[in-house]
Amino acid sequence: MTMIIVVVVVTAALLIGAAWGLFGPLPKRVEGFLIAAAGGALIVSVVSELVEPASKNAPHLWVMSSLMAGAIIFLMLDYVVKEKFGSGGAGLLTSITLDGIPENLALGVALIGAGPAQVAALAGSIFLSNLPEAAGGSQEMHEDGMSKSKVFGTWAITAFLLAGAAIAGNLLLSSAPKEALALIRAFAAGAVIASLGTEVFPKAYKEDHLLAGFATAVGFVLAFSLSMLAG
């Protein structure tokens, strides 16, 4: 039940964000602020929900190597996506899906043997990340000439795919050895860290360079406080 609730909450952010971008006002500075806040929150979640648990169940060198492998593979795939699809609507959607798969896979793994409080920070961070990305992405896709119904339907499919990643991470890996789960957590952490450096923070700074640093700190404080309460 916990898995279902968390997955619904996180992926609902894509649908809410898509509706916001299509039917509501979305000032660029608001979008940038939310993206930066989500990035700050993800910094906390990557460390407390992925890297630290991984370090307790596998040798340090293995964990760091897996983390770097996740970052390198993410960057390679991100490069291919941009070369093939460009930075328009299709490229943006593919890039966001690429970002979301390791995040949601990590969420599914984090739910194994954990209560709601232990994954609240990670789920909340992913929610904050998905919301402005979907809002900005749907707005851009509509401006590129795609109808609102088609844009929303595309985001619904994306939400379904990312929910599937979380469910797969939880169900398929529930019986995996602790060492394997640790390396998967570290791999996902590396992918998320790479996405922060190449996608999240650059976009946040572009949309709202005056408050991007402040928003990042706000997201960090909120996620860290939630993590402390959960602990």
Per-residue pLDDT tens over the stretch 121-141: 667 777 877 888 888 888 888
Confidence of residue 93 (pLDDT cuts 50, 70, 90): low
Task: Judge whether 174 lies within some domain.
Answer: yes
Please state, in angstroms and as integers, the Cα–Cα distance from residue 155 to each residue in 27, 75, 219, following that order. 20, 23, 25
Query: H helices within 24-115, ranges in order?
Result: 28-45, 52-57, 60-85, 89-110
Task: Judge whether 62 lies within some domain.
Answer: yes
* Mean model confidence pLDDT for the chain: 83
Task: Judge whether 26 lies within some domain.
Answer: no
114-144 as b/e, with b when 16 or more CB fall inside 10 Å?
beeebbbbbbbbbbbbbbbbbbbbbbbbbee
pLDDT per residue as tens digits for the range 194-225: 989 988 899 899 888 889 999 999 999 988 88
Task: Judge whether 19 lies within some domain.
Answer: no
The domain of 54 spans 31-230
Task: Judge whether 23 lies within some domain.
Answer: no
Task: Judge whether 17 lies within some domain.
Answer: no
Number of domains in the chain: 1
Average pLDDT, integer, range 164-179 = 80
How far is 220 from 231, CA to CA, in rounded Å?
Answer: 16
Q: pTM here?
A: 0.82
Task: Judge whether 112 lies within some domain.
Answer: yes
H helices, E strands: number in the chain: 10, 0
Cβ-based burial of 49 (10 A; exposed 0-12, middle 13-18, buried ≥19): buried
Task: Judge whether 204 lies within some domain.
Answer: yes
Residue pair 36/204 in contact (Cβ under 8 Å)? The answer is yes
Neighbours of 175 (CB within 10 A): 9
How far is 112 from 173, CA to CA, in rounded Å?
Answer: 8
Can you give the pLDDT at residue 190?
A: 93
